Amino acid sequence: METFADYILAEKDYGRKIEIMHYLKKKTNIFFDNSVIFKSLIAKLFIESMDIDIDENTVVTAMLLCGCKKVNNAQDIEKIKSYAKDGAEFLSKLGFSKEFCTICEQQNRYSNSLPRRKESDILELADNFGGMLLDRPERIGFKVDEALVLLEYRNLKGKQNRYLEIIDYLENNDVDSFVIIDDEKEYLKGTDLENNLVQTSLYDGGLKDIHIDKTIRIWI
């Protein structure tokens, strides 16, 4: 018997996938709006522009579905932490494989699911980049409870390691230009990466237009 998972994964036409998602939203009241469509297009463009062994159909479908249990403008810490896990459980009931559900769950860094899949990194990148481009409420800044969640999962004890992780990535990948966006700067002070940092603030509006302008200047 064909499941919903079989149906949408078998559909390779992007426009038809969107129609299927609208049908699913109508039937199950999942979280699905134009921002999700926008981010799925970003994920699609990332894959098409990168030399990476990854299945585009899987990633685009996952981008459309990974936030299905997201609560818009959630104030509850537990909901912020758990929407991806709740979504993965929901997707499992629709017939998606354990691997697909894990890819979707790992899009949310608050998930403790390991090891991470490279598909999940694409989802996270598209989600963050899309959120930066869209004029969404979270660009105004973080509320106290949201900031606490970020701090809890930031691994502040590993500040020095973050520098080494960036260096390791640059040495092992063909990178022409890069930007580091972070509200922490101590781990980059006096290093050769300091000029590539765009520092934001949790307490002063989060990501602002001035940061986006600086990001573009560094990138170019």
The reported pLDDT for the residue numbered 101 is: 95
pLDDT band, residue 63 (cuts 50/70/90): very high
Residue 146 lies in a domain: no
Q: Does residue 164 share a domain with residue 118? A: no
Reported as a single tens digit per residue, the pLDDT across 138-179 is 444 444 454 445 444 443 344 445 677 787 788 888 887 888
- From 139, 162, 177, the end of a domain falls on 139
pLDDT at 83 over 90: no
Strand partners, 182: 199
Q: Does residue 198 share a domain with residue 93? A: no
Q: Does residue 92 share a domain with residue 186? A: no
Q: What is the average pLDDT score of the chain? A: 79
- From 116, 139, 162, the end of a domain falls on 139
Q: Does residue 176 share a domain with residue 135? A: no
The reported pLDDT for the residue numbered 151 is: 44
Q: Which domain holds residue 50?
A: 1-139
Residue 11 lies in a domain: yes
Q: Does residue 128 share a domain with residue 181? A: no
Q: Does the pTM of the predicted model rise above 0.75?
A: no
Q: Report which secondary-structure segment, H or E, holds 195.
A: none
Q: Does residue 160 share a domain with residue 133? A: no
* Terminal C-alpha separation, the chain: 51
Q: List the one residue out of 117, 116, 25, 98 whose CA is nearest residue 64.
A: 25
Q: Does residue 158 share a domain with residue 135? A: no
Q: Does residue 61 share a domain with residue 4? A: yes
Q: Long-range contact list for 77-86, CB < 8 A, 24+ apart?
A: 77/145, 77/146, 77/148, 77/149, 80/110, 80/145, 80/146, 80/149, 81/110, 81/149, 82/110, 83/108, 84/108, 84/110, 84/111, 85/111
The reported pLDDT for the residue numbered 182 is: 83
Provide the token pair at 163. Answer: 């520098």
Provide the token pair at 2. Answer: 């064909």
Report the number of distinct structural domains present in the chain: 2
Residue 145 lies in a domain: no
Q: Does residue 56 share a domain with residue 123? A: yes
Q: Does residue 9 share a domain with residue 87? A: yes
Reported as a single tens digit per residue, the pLDDT across 90-120 is 999 999 999 999 999 988 877 777 788 889 8
- From 139, 167, 196, the end of a domain falls on 139
Answer with the residue of higher pLDDT: 61 or 124: 61
Angle at 182 between CA 179 and CA 184, to 5 degrees: 130
The reported pLDDT for the residue numbered 142 is: 44
The reported pLDDT for the residue numbered 189 is: 72
Q: Does residue 71 share a domain with residue 111? A: yes
Reported as a single tens digit per residue, the pLDDT across 68-81 is 988 766 556 677 77
Q: Does residue 38 share a domain with residue 66? A: yes
- Is the separation of the CB atoms in 188 and 180 below 8 Å? yes
The reported pLDDT for the residue numbered 103 is: 93
Rounded to an integer, what distance in angstroms lies between the CA atom of residue 108 and that of residue 62? 12
